[in-house]
Every structure is written in structure tokens, then in C-alpha cells.
Chain A
Amino acid sequence: MTNRSQLAFLALLFLILLAVPFMGSRYLTELTVQVMIFSLLALSLNILVGHIGLVSFGHAAFFAIGGYATAFFLSRWQLPLGIAMPMAVLLASIFALMIGALCVRLKAIYFAMLTLAFSMLVWGIIIKWKPVTGGDDGFVGIALPQFLSSPQNFYWFTLAVVSISTALMWVLSKSTMGQIFVAIRENETRANFLGVNVRQMQLIGFVLAALFAAVAGSLMSMYLRGMYPQSAFWTQSGHIVISVLLGGVHSFVGPILGASLLYLLEVTIHQYTQYWPLVMGLILIIVVLVLPEGLIGLFRKLYTSVRRE
């Protein structure tokens, strides 16, 4: 997809999202909130996977840190949302800086395994640190600001935060830094010879991806009125990776499509059967064998063949 068609897609999507609360269905409103949060999470991972070419299996750690920190700051320290949320995102970014500094020294599968290890470390701390995190019972009962207690208001808040985050990621992807990220993905050695400090750029990308994941985690904790250890577990990281692969890693809007479709499928299939994991396994097989470039790749092929005809 060209930049123009992707921008047109995002603009159309934004208009549709503006209309959702007026459709009169609270279910649809609530569902869209979750889809927006998961889309933001997938977009954040795509900074690493799609732009830099680093596959992280520990991205859920920053989602969880953002969520738990927001829960803690709002409920225990009773900070206003305007302070609690940025502080939570900052905390996740600091963690990302420390973890990333070690991870970006490694390549490919070693990078993926180390991120997975750190993610499980975060999960372990969440399980053990019961006075702060609630242990395996989770952090329950977040004190939300009054203005966010209605589903409609929470929807507008989520839409605003997700839209701003998406816009920032779009600007990043088109900036010089974004182009350097792509250069590293395409040929790390050549980028190095061109004077790019590859490790430093990878670390910056790692922290930025974690920052937006923390924003998604923060929103999720407020939506769920709690945060739970499963949010940091490796399966959650795997879920995000599948979302990105399903949508297509080499386009900006791909992860949005992937995350939305995956979540909507999950919700729909759950209403009829408990065999969702089987369906997700099939989706993964199809993506790997038939759709290596995801849904975006499929649309591109269809568009090309239609134009030829």
C-alpha cells in the first residue's frame, strides 16, 4: 500500500470510530475499545518487527508494566490520571532502556529468546510481589477518575489516546529515524558502514516500542479495572506477534488489521465454541504457509491481479 492509500485508510477508520458511539450499541462501543487497545499494542510491536526487523517475544512485559504501574499510581498513590499515566509510561520506558541495552547486543533468535527471558522475569516479579501487584490474584479494583466511569467517556478517551499514539508512530515511520530503522532492517552491515550507530538506533526503537506498549497497557488496566499476571506471560507476547504477522509486517496499517481481525475472531468464536486456540493455530499456519506478507500482502496481490485483468 502506498502512503496515500494508507493515510486514506487511517482517515476513514478514524471517521468510522467517531461514529461508533452514536450507533446505539453499548456492546459495539465496548468491543471497539478493546480492538483499539490491541491495535495500538500491535502497532507498537511493529516498530521493532516491521521497521527495525527485530522479533521480540517479550513485548507483553512492557504492556504489563504500563498497566500495573497505572493501576498502582491511580489506586495506591491516588495520583491524578494526568500524572499517573505518563509516570507509568516513563517507568516502562526506563525498564525498556535497561532491558533493551542488553537485548540489542544480540541478533535474530538470540534477541527473541532474551526478550522472552526478560518478559518471564517480569511475569515472575508480578507473581511474587504480592503487596504491590496482587500476585496471581492480580491488581483488582482500580480507582478510575469519575469522568472515565461511563463507557462513552472511556471510549472517547481511548480513541483520543490511540489516535494520538498512532499519529506519532506514523510520523516516526516517515521521519529520518524511521528511514534509518528500515535501512537497519534491510541491511544492518551496510547501515553500519554508512555511519549509523546500529545498536543505539535499535535501542531507541526498542524503547519507543515499549513506550507505546505501555500506553496500551495503561488503557487496558483502566478498561479492565485491574491488571493481571497473564498480561505479561509469553502467550500474550505470542498473541501480539501473531497479530502483526497476520496483518503484515511491512506496512503501517497491517498490524491494525491483524489485531482487529484476530480479536474479533476470538470474541466471535468464543461465543460458539471453546476451541479458539485451535483456530488461532490454524491462522498461524495459514499466515506462515500462504500469507507470508499477511493480509496487506493478500490485498496487494488481489489489487494487482484485478488491475492486470
Chain B
Amino acid sequence: MASKTLWIAVAVVVVVVVAAIAALVYKPSAPAAPTTSSAPSASTSTTQATPTSTTAASVKTVTIGALLPLTGSLQFMGVSGQCAIQLAVQDANQMFASKGIQFQLVVQDSACDPTAALQKLQTLYSQGIRFVAGLTCSSELSAVKNFAEQNHILITSISTSPLLAVPKPYIFRLPPTDNAQAKVLAALYHMLGIKRVVIVYRADAWGQGLTQAIINETKKYGIQVVGAFGYDPSPSAMPAAEQAAVQKASAALGTPGPDAAFEIISFDQDGAAVVQAAMNDPVLSKVRWFGTDSNVYGTAIMQAGGQALAAAKFMGAVASPNPDDPHYLHFANEFKKFCGHAPTGYDPYYYDTAMIIMEAIAETGSTDPTVINSVLEQWGKNGTYVGATGPVYFDQYHDRQYASYLIVGVVIVNGTPTWINAGFYNGTTGQITVFPQGQALFSS
């Protein structure tokens, strides 16, 4: 005979399940229009969850989702990206108010964990949300790919892994893949007469992918990668892992010289540990240094060794429109007002992940992901959408192509090491233009 406890347990489960289903089926009513006069803190979610609906005042309310790493190793990107997406929603509500469309945003934390990302996407789906912006990690995108495809959820992402350069209906990636960045860096080495490069990289999917891409691209110019040394990027391994990789890199490069370079493939915090290890190295401290889109503009890396970065004529490339581009300037000003700091790295891409969806919805009047998927494919062929990152072209895999890069470096300004925009790589022509303030970095 089953015990009384068992039946109590069964009853508890049934009651909880019924209550949960009732809560799921119940959709909270739309909240009042979001306030746009004050900037929310970068770490808070925005408006209440509401599926696509039409209010009494004939304003169509469309809710989009954002899946961002608000915790975990990429929290620094996710928090800033959340602010960029909130800004995009605010801008879209101003731009498309005349069309009778009001956008709302629901943010979920994916923690850069594939399991969590899929579960959160399923939760967003249950809320009637069919458009999700901001997915950051390639591993998350891999985990949600099939679910998004099967359930027609349109996703815009900032993942850059070449692994995902495959057919992926309903998924669009706004930044170019790491192969594009490798092309820029190889062109930069070539322009500066570099013949030998040693690489220290984060041993994660991004670091490994970019390193391999650089090795492939430099071969085309006859540049030799004399060694590539990975380190465990987890904070618990810092700074010993970075120091060990730097020592190996120094030994591999052997002798310094004007034809030699040190490439740092890192994020900001771990990049700081690499810089601290390399600035006193007898070999590496005497060659040029290069970075990537994930450590230029970094505050930690600058604090760790700004003088050393300037002495090594440190330069890196960030996928970006021309800094004089009016769209980018507008975004940068708005972002600074809204979020309280200048945009860095991927912020303009986060902005565009949300804005391209909302613009497509507003222009077509459709909230059908299949329709918007076709619209984005068409726009991607013609470069119709021009956002904070410039005109957006997609290739056959829905990945960004013809991306331009801003070359960013460190120079001493009034005695202080400072990030400057040193040049511009035109993605269409493949040409590098040196800005007047960047001349010193390009001189031998």
C-alpha cells in the first residue's frame, strides 16, 4: 500500500503543476509606455513581458527578447550590451511611433552557458516572443540553433566563431566572423613590415579560432607565426597561466627586431595580466604589440601597462564603421548619454542586433518571423539596413560581410597613455587609411 506521504507528494506536485500552467497561460496586461527620459542602470532589465498584442489605442505592441551574459565570464560585455539594446528599443519607439508600433524588451541572462541559453529561449518562446537579440557566445548559439529553426524564432547574434559559418535559417550574425579580423591584422602586419609574429591567446573557442585564422591569413603575405601559446582564461588561473604563456612566447621569438611582433589575443582583464608579464620581458618589450577587438579600449589593460602599450605601439582592430560615419557618431553620442560611458567593442553591434529586427518589423508591419527572415535576407543582399555599424550585408550563411574595421592604438597624450583611432580598414576595398593622429603608430 502506498504511503500517505506519497499521495500528499502527488497532490503537491499536481497543485504546483496546475498553478504553474495557470501562471504560464495567464499573460500580464501591457504596462504603461516605458519612460524614456531617464537612463536605466545598465544592469537592470527593462519592461514587463508581454506578447505581441494590440492595445485599445490601436498601438501595436511588439515584445522582443534579449539573451545576454549578465553573469559569468562575459558579464562585462553582456551588461554593456543590455544598455545598447535598451537604447535601441528607446530609439525605435521614437522612430516608429508614427507607424503605431510600440516595442518592449524582455531580458534574460544566459550566463554564456548553452544549457541556460536554451532554457531561457524556451521561456521567452512561451511568452510569445519570436524575436531575440544579442546572443553572445558561439556555444550558446550552437545549443539554441535547432530549437530556433524548428520553432521559427528569429535570432540576431554577435557570435563570431567560424564554426557557425553554416546554413542557419532564422539566425543572423551582425559582426563579421573572426576570419575577417584576421585578414585585417595580417594586412596591418604586412603594411608595417612584420615578418615574424608570436601569439599568446585565450584558450577558448574564440581565442583558438582567431589564432588559427591569423596563422592562415599571414601565410598569404609570407609572414611566419613562430609560435602560438594558449592560456587558461579562467580567473582562478590568473596570472600564472598568462605569465607561463608569455615566457614561452618570448623564447619562441628569440631575438627582438623591427620585423618581429607580439600578438595578444585576450579580453580586457586577462589581457592586463599578459601585458604585465610582457612589459618586463627582455625580448617582447622590444617589439611591436598588437591586440584584438576584445582588448582595445580596455580599461584594465590600460591601467596595467599603458606606458608599455604606447612604447610597443600597440594596435588592434575593432569591426566598426568609419568613426566619422554620421550613424555611428549619433549612436556613440546617444549611448554615452544613455549608458553613462562611451561605447566599447561590441556595443554598436548589440545595438544593431535589436534595431535591425525592429526596423524590419516597422517597415513591413509584420511580426511573422518567417517574413522578417526573408526581409533580412533581402536587406542583407542590398545593404538596405544602415545602422550603428554601417551598412549591413549578409552572406549566404546570414553572416556579416564587407565589414570595415577601425584600427585603434595607444599613444601618449599630455603625458597620459590614451586610446586613439589610428586608422581605418575599408572592408570593401581592403585598403588601410592612416589618420593624422595615428601617424606616429605607423612610423617605424
Q: Do A and B come from one complex?
A: no
Chain B residues in the interface with A (C-beta under 8 A): none
Chain A residues in the interface with B (C-beta under 8 A): none
